[in-house]
Structure 1
Amino acid sequence: MRSTSSYFLPKEIALYTASKINSEFCWFDIDGDIDPLFKEYWCKRLHPKDVCEKVYRQPSLRDSLKKGKLRKQDIAITKQKTALLQAADSIGKKIQYNCPGFLPNKRQHRMAGLAVIEIAQKISKAWRSLQAEWRYSNKSTSKHNKKVRRKEKINLPSQNRGGAGCSTSSSSETSTSYSITEDKPFGRSMMSWQDVYSLAVKWRQISEPCDPVVWINKLSEEFNSGFGSNTPLILGQAKVVRYFPNFQRTLDVAKTVMKEKTFVYNKADDMIDLSKDGKLEEIMHAESCSDIYRVVGEDFWLATWCNSTAIEGKQFEGTRITLLKMERGYDFAIKTPCTPSRWEEFNAEMTAAWDALCSAYCGETYGSTDFSVLENVRDAILRMTFYWYNFMPLSRGSAAVGFVVLLGLLLAANMEFTGNIPQGFQVDWEAILNFDPNAFVDSVKSWLYPSLKVRTSWKDYPDVSSTFATTGSVVAALSSYDD
């Protein structure tokens, strides 16, 4: 039974994909089509016995094939497909972490490359519309100002007292008979920040049906209880190979938060006071999980904070760092609970960050190939990336999706990343372990910006969404390689 249960949930996702094989890829929508309860069991890897009879079962492979087999044109190689796949393979490799435990995966690289190009193409269209709106707005404002100046001349008080058209009031009392209205704020993009990231999420979902990549707010009522990502650095006596290199820095951040807040929370979410009996001083000298646990005395968690860019002086909850005692060793991890209140805060911050980016690029900077002129655009992209990584709104895959979108945004602004992520550097952790977006920007720009080249050749790539129009063509593209 156990072996059957292990495959039931991913099998249903594979059957869902098969049912969409001849549909347009835009209709591939795991978040909208799959039952929230099913997704919850999938994310938590729970036994399906309590869910298999409660949710809609996907049609069998035989039934899906009756409706139509994979079309020949979906797997046929064309010049447009070849050009896109070559570009995607080159771009997609740039997401690779050069860290222990992160093995290269050609399928994931190709997925990332195609997602980057599609994001750039779709955002470019949205920005073009915004720029046209900006030009029209400026034109209207200019005409309005000319009319204002003409009217002001006409209504100037006459100095010819007693003559025709004379004024009955003194010049000091006279005012022009118009009012200047404030300029309307620059219009918002037709795309929301979530529309942008959803493009990358869809590619990440179809690239690996065994990975439960879903938006957490599309789960069932568990969303209200704070279900979210959980990333251990130490698990019992094991050091998690991918994330343990961040241990010392995470421990230092935890100590900083304890010193600043002077308390942590226990399992019941009650505060544990650390301000007495020299506990804080002992914590500052702690060098291991056991040292800190001995001082606190029980399982606990604390939360980092994020400084808001949208609202000056505001701070909201970043990532939770947890320390639990196990039978042998400790569970030291970061967790990101996506409660409705936290979602609302980050949604507002992401919206503001996206609006700021659109405003930075779609005004006078639009279409520029001057690298120095694009500095504010680059910084705005990194600030939005900072909030995405601290938000962590996906059940998994937020790290890859975040960097894919970053590359797509840069490409849309004619900046292509030609380097590699430095050895030992994990972009998502850099954001998580910083409290302020500007600190993250300064850290990443030191290696990212020198590797950016201003290029417009990407605009000659065939359109991704029409070249790989169906789900079947996307699956075929991710499954075929020359070597």
Structure 2
Amino acid sequence: MRYLEYFEKILHFIKDRILVYHGANNPKGLLEVREALENVHKVEDLLPIMKQFNSKTRDGFTVNTKVPSLKDQGKEYDGFTITITGDKVGNILFSVETQTTEERTQLYHAEIDALYKDLTAKGKVLILSAELGEADAVCNLILSLVYYFYNLMPLSRGSSVIAYSVIMGALMASGKEVAGKIPKGKLVDFEAMTAPGSEAFSKIARSWMNLQSISPSYKSLPSVSETFPTLRTMTEVLNADSSRCLKKTIVAV
């Protein structure tokens, strides 16, 4: 049920990809395909249309999203895969999954590395400058970096929470904090995976983050490296009974 918010968006994407495919392989019949797709409002109607206009379609078909590169303009990476299959009695499987290879993973790593280097350089400039433009540039780089991580998704569903924690920590390091909440029904990873590019994702994420200047009181808080100097102490605090902690106890990153 948590993915229901994105059903219509993904359905429209599939229809767009079908038009792109027929535009390249069957331009004469494109108008007919377009008219047929305009009457599609549910997944069950897509498979018959694909069988009608594409002889290669038998039990199902797949479409892939594309993730544009910032590092190499004009280059695209494979995003996630949408699969629709059906059987003779009318059962339909509609699935979304991320498939990766070593080559794909390395391409994303190269993109993330380039963004991280740029973020490090911009962060140093931000320390010496109070201009709003520099802060915005750093924020966009942070969100762009996480955009590619979300589309790579090398771990599990827990990756989404980890990445959002990284966003909040990186923004704190830049002098900003997230005061807003993720809207009900929204999933940050799916926002990134269905966005047409990193700029679009940054715009969406910033619309609900309600970024504010970080409180000066954070500077008086103890640092993580001094409070938890070893891997053992870090592991111990992760396994601590948080119910005994004061609600206002915070350790600065």
Q: If the TM-score is normalised by the length of the shorter chain, which range does it land in?
A: 0.7 to 0.9
Label 1:407 to 1:301 Cα distance change in 2 as closer, same or farther (>3 A).
Answer: same
Stretch deviating more after TM superposition (293-302 or 310-319): 293-302
Matches within 5 A, 1:209-220: none
Alignment-derived partner of residue 321 in structure 1? 82
Alignment-derived partner of residue 459 in structure 1? 219
Alignment-derived partner of residue 475 in structure 1? 239
Gaps of 5+ in 2: 52-58, 248-253
2:48 to 294, 311, 317: 294
Superposed displacement of residue 478, structure 1: 4.8
Aligned residue type for 2:160: A
Matches within 5 A, 1:30-109: none
Matches within 5 A, 1:52-451: 241-262=1-22, 278-297=32-51, 298-325=59-86, 329-363=91-125, 365-366=126-127, 368=129, 371-448=132-209, 450-451=210-211
Structure 2: distance between partners of 1:335 and 1:315? 18
Alignment-derived partner of residue 107 in structure 1? none
Label 1:472 to 1:446 Cα distance change in 2 as closer, same or farther (>3 A).
Answer: closer
Label 1:274 to 1:426 Cα distance change in 2 as closer, same or farther (>3 A).
Answer: farther
Structure 2: distance between partners of 1:470 and 1:444? 30
Verify the 8 A CA contact 1:319 1:335 in the aligned structure 2.
yes
Q: How does the TM-score come out when normalised to structure 2? A: 0.80
Identity rate of aligned residues, in percent?
28
Structure 2: distance between partners of 1:439 and 1:262? 27
Aligned residue type for 1:335: E
Label 1:296 to 1:447 Cα distance change in 2 as closer, same or farther (>3 A).
Answer: same
Label 1:251 to 1:349 Cα distance change in 2 as closer, same or farther (>3 A).
Answer: same
Structure 2: distance between partners of 1:310 and 1:471? 36
Q: How does the TM-score come out when normalised to structure 1? A: 0.44
Point out the structure with max Rg over C-alpha.
1
Gaps of 5+ in 1: 1-240, 264-272
Label 1:295 to 1:390 Cα distance change in 2 as closer, same or farther (>3 A).
Answer: same
Label 1:321 to 1:479 Cα distance change in 2 as closer, same or farther (>3 A).
Answer: farther
Aligned residue type for 2:18: M
Structure 1: distance between partners of 2:109 and 2:206? 25
Alignment-derived partner of residue 250 in structure 2? none
Aligned residue type for 1:454: I
Task: Show CA shifts across 1:442-467 (max 9, x none).
Answer: 2222332x432233433333233553
Structure 1: distance between partners of 2:186 and 2:108? 25
Count matched residues.
Answer: 232
Verify the 8 A CA contact 2:112 2:145 in the aligned structure 1.
yes
Label 1:417 to 1:482 Cα distance change in 2 as closer, same or farther (>3 A).
Answer: closer
Task: Show CA shifts across 1:123-156 (max 9, x none).
Answer: xxxxxxxxxxxxxxxxxxxxxxxxxxxxxxxxxx
Verify the 8 A CA contact 2:64 2:82 in the aligned structure 1.
yes
Label 1:372 to 1:447 Cα distance change in 2 as closer, same or farther (>3 A).
Answer: farther
Label 1:338 to 1:414 Cα distance change in 2 as closer, same or farther (>3 A).
Answer: same
Structure 2: distance between partners of 1:345 and 1:453? 35
Superposed displacement of residue 330, structure 1: 2.4
Alignment-derived partner of residue 56 in structure 2? none
Superposed displacement of residue 369, structure 1: 5.5
Verify the 8 A CA contact 2:150 2:192 in the aligned structure 1.
yes
